[in-house]
Amino acid sequence: MLKEKHLEDVFIPECKTGPTQHGSHVRFDAWVMRKSWANPMVIGYEIKVNRSDFVNDQKWRGYLPFCNEFYWVCPYGLIDPNEVSDDAGLMCVSKNCTRIYTKKRAKYRNVEIPESIWRYILMGRVAITRMAERVVSERERWEEWLRNEQIDRAFGYRVGKRIQLKIREEIEKVNGENSKLKSLIEDYEDVRQLLASLGFDPESFWKGSVSKRIRERGCMSSELISSINNAINALSSLQTNIEKINQDPK
C-alpha cells in the first residue's frame, strides 16, 4: 500500500542508512523521497504488525536524522495516536485492508539528510538499473527471436511452395514419360506378335538377321518388308528408351 501511495516518488523498501560492514547503520522498512525541487521531502516508515514490537522498540529515534518526516504504519487499532511521540506520525490500514490513511500527521523537521544514505541509495539504484537493463536485454532477445521465427516461417513457406511446384513438375514429367513408355510397349506388342506370326522368336531377334530372312523368303511385298523394318526400328528405339529410363535415378 505504501508503494502504491508513492508511485510518483522514489520508493526504497528495506533502505539502509549506510554500509553493512560498519555495523552502525539502521534500516527503514521504507524510505521515500518526493520528486520535487521546490519542496524537498524525505519520509521514513517503520511498520509494526504486533503490539509488543511497537512498545519495545528503542531504536526508532535513530531514523530521525535520515528523514524529514517519520511515520509508524500498523494495522487498524494496533497503535493509539496518543501513544505516538510528537517527533512521529501514524498511518493505519483500514479494517478491510483496502486503503491506508493518516491517523496523526508527522511533524516536519528541517534536517540535512546525511551523505551516507544518499551514497547507499545511489549504489542501490545502479544495481536496480543494471537489472532492468538485463531484463530489457532479455526481452529484446526474445523479440528478436520472434522476428526471426516469423521470417523463417515465411521463408520456409516460400521454399515449401517452390519445392511443391518442383515436385509437381517432376511428377508431370514422369507421368509424361510413363505415357510414352506405355505407348511404346503397345507398339512393342504389335511388333512382337508380327514377328511371332512370321516364325521368329521376338525375345532373341537381331535386326540384320530378321531382315535377311524376310528377303530370302521372297514371299512378301516390298511395302510389307518396309513396314516390318519400321517395326523393328521402333522396337529398337523402345529398347533404348527403356534402358535410359532404368538408368535415370529419378
Per-residue pLDDT tens digits of the chain, which is 250 residues long: 999 999 999 999 988 887 766 566 789 999 999 988 888 899 999 999 999 999 999 889 999 999 999 999 999 999 999 999 999 999 999 988 889 999 999 999 999 999 988 888 887 666 655 555 555 567 777 778 778 777 777 767 777 777 777 777 877 887 777 777 777 666 666 666 766 666 666 665 455 555 566 556 555 566 666 766 776 776 677 667 666 666 665 5
φ, ψ at 218 (rounded to 5°): 60, 20
- The pLDDT value given to residue 90: 97
pLDDT score for 130: 55
According to the model, what pLDDT value does residue 145 have?
A: 77
Q: What is the pTM of this model?
A: 0.51
Distance CA 15, CA 30 (A): 6
At residue 43, the pLDDT reads 97
The predicted pLDDT at position 85 comes to: 93
Helix (H, G, I), strand (E, B) or coil at 204: coil
> Which residues, in sequence order, are CB contacts of 157 under 8 Å at separation 6+?
none
Q: What is the pLDDT of residue 113?
A: 92
Please report the sign of the dihedral spanned by the C-alpha atoms of residue 161, residue 163, residue 169, residue 175.
negative
φ and ψ of 149, to 5 deg: -65, -40
Contacts of 103 (CB under 8 A, 6+ apart): 81, 90, 91, 92
CA distance 64 to 111: 9
| pLDDT at residue 101, rounded to an integer | 93
